[in-house]
Structure 1
Amino acid sequence: MPTPRQHLRNAAGFALVWAAAGVAHRVRFRTMGSVPRTGPVIVVANHLTMTDPLAVARVAIGHRRFPHFLAMQEVFGWPGVGSLARATGQIPVARGSASAAAALDLASEHLSKGHLVALYPEGRLTTEPDLMPGPARTGAARLALRHPEAPVIPVGTWGPQQGTEHIWHRHTACLSVGPAVDLSPWAGRTDEAAAREVTAAVMAAIRDQIAVAQEMWHTR
């Protein structure tokens, strides 16, 4: 059970994320599926900018859930941001190192406690010319196979843009939250082939939600 101090930190995190998301973006979201109010949840999304985790976090908070993101290790060294990330249980990822797998173990611990874990399967910002997700890593799939009790909720984001212009102008961020990905064909499997197949299914679900988010953005 969370301690009173952790409840206080989470409450501060809720307030700060909500405010910061409003500064970075005009957040609009639509829920096509359902994010459970309790129990373990895995949220997966495409990654357009360094600030879109704030928009995804606002969506989670809009469902009365506090997100625990897998974030690059460097974020934890940023003044202020790093302290808040550590205090609210965000998960550092040492990308490209042998210890990167430890982040999945920590994420697994959060799921075992009934938390919501959010991550970007690409493991980096989208670099494709059409801004659609590129090749994905299998981390999210391996986490999902390890925790079949945790629904995998795809989120498609459209609107925010990376670059210096983004620093000075608030972009509208449209997000579509889809229904849980059906992983029943891989029940009981944790092998590498299953991880690759689940990754493909997860990315297809994200792309479906991006299409909805694009429509939201064009008709906003």
Structure 2
Amino acid sequence: MPRPMPAGFKTAAFFIKPILLGVTRRDWSGGENLPTDTGFIAVSNHMTYADPFTLAHYLYDHGQAPHFLAKASLFDIPLAGRGLRGLDQVPVHRGSARAKDAVDAAAKLLQRGDSIAVFPEGTLTRDPELWPMMARTGAARMALDYDVPVVPIAQWGAQHLLDPYGKRPHLIPPKKVIVRAGAPVDLSEFRGPDRDIDTLRRATDRIMGSLTAMLEDIRGEKAPAVAWDMRREDGGR
């Protein structure tokens, strides 16, 4: 059975969940793929700032307390920051001496049997058709370092609640949101002491390949053969 839900998450859900129930029509599936006997990393695609709410809703409905790696600046907002800390959310200090703090905090959650939720792309997708982009290697690194499963969770529909980079939500009529968890990604061939950046990249590509394939099934469309890559000087593919 899942771990007992902490009281803070129940309190947050008391206020937030009725709103989400009112503005969405939910198509949840794959909950049987969420481990209940170990910590795990939930990875999801990222299209809009509404994604964390729909992903958190899905995880909460399946008995998992949603812990996110979130931008450190959010923790500086007086009321929001206090709430995030109270719910064991993890601040990410990118490009600073404190960047490792997020990994250490996430490790503690995983080692005590909790799940953490990660958007491996690191930001909203820049793909014009909202397909997943080339991802960062952090989720794969944590999974291999701490020997925990990675569960891909594809979602589609949250972008109708809030446009990518939009600030004005579209709450009426309720929007259909599909969230589906897949089987843990097999990373066994990448485990071992001699991991280099190429190994992490291949493990990350496998994770994102699973996630993209699930999204293809949900959308009934084929993703581009090459993922959007923000590192390219000419942009895109």
Name the TM tier (shorter chain). Answer: 0.7 to 0.9
Where 2:155 maps in the other structure, the secondary structure is strand
Distance in 2 between residues matched to 1:74 and 1:27, nearest whole Å: 31
Query: What's 1:182 paired with?
Result: 186
1:133, distance to aligned residue in structure 2 (A): 1.1
**Would you say the 8 A contact 1:44–1:120 is kept in 2?**
yes
CA distance in 2, matches of 1:123, 1:24: 26
Give the number of aligned pairs. 210
Change (3 A) 1:25 1:125: farther
The 8 Å contact of residues 40 and 116 in structure 1, kept in 2 or not, is answered as yes
Q: Counterparts of 1:40 and 1:92 in 2: how far apart (Å)?
A: 19
| Superposed displacement of residue 105, structure 1 | 1.8
Instruction: Find the counterpart in structure 2 of residue 198 from structure 1.
Output: 203
One-letter amino acid matched to 1:172: K
Asked whether the equivalents of residues 23 and 171 of structure 2 are also in contact (C-alpha less than 8 Å), the reply is: no
Specify the code of the residue in structure 2 equivalent to 1:157: Q
CA-CA distance at 1:84 after TM superposition:
1.6
> Higher Cα Rg: structure 1 or 2?
2
> TM-score with structure 2 length normalisation?
0.80
Structure 1 gaps, min length 5: 1-5, 216-220
Partner of 1:91: 90
Offset at residue 46 of structure 1 (A): 0.4
Secondary structure at the aligned position of 1:80 is classed as helix
Structure 2: distance between partners of 1:172 and 1:78 = 31
Task: Give the corresponding residue for 1:119.
Answer: 118
Deviation of 1:188 after TM superposition, in Å, equals 1.9
Give the match for residue 216 of structure 2.
211
| Matched residue type, 1:132 | W
Separation of aligned partners in 1, 2:217 and 2:155: 9
- 2:206 partner amino acid: A
Bigger CA drift: 174-183 or 185-194?
A: 185-194
CA distance in 1, matches of 2:31, 2:113: 22
For 2:142, the equivalent position in structure 1 comes to 143
Amino acid at match of 1:166: P
1:177 partner letter: A
Residue 176 to residue 86, structure 1, CA distance change in 2 (3 Å): same
Task: Answer 1 or 2: which has greater helix percent.
Answer: 1
User: In the TM superposition, what is the alpha-carbon distance from 1:138 to its structure 2 partner?
Assistant: 0.7
* Secondary structure of 2:17 counterpart: helix
Report the secondary structure of 1:67's partner residue: coil
The worse-fitting range, judged by mean Cα deviation, of 108-117 and 13-22 is: 13-22
Aligned counterpart, 2:169: 166
> Does structure 1 conserve the Cα–Cα contact (< 8 Å) formed by 2:54 and 2:158?
no
Q: Which amino acid aligns with 2:113?
A: G
Per the alignment, residue 132 of structure 2 pairs with: 133
Letter in 2 for 1:111: L
Q: For the residues of structure 2 that align with 1:129 and 1:98, how far apart are their CA atoms?
A: 34
Answer yes or no: is the 8 Å Cα contact 1:20–1:54 preserved in 2: no
How much identity, in percent, do the aligned residues show?
33
Indicate the SS of the match to 2:6. Answer: helix
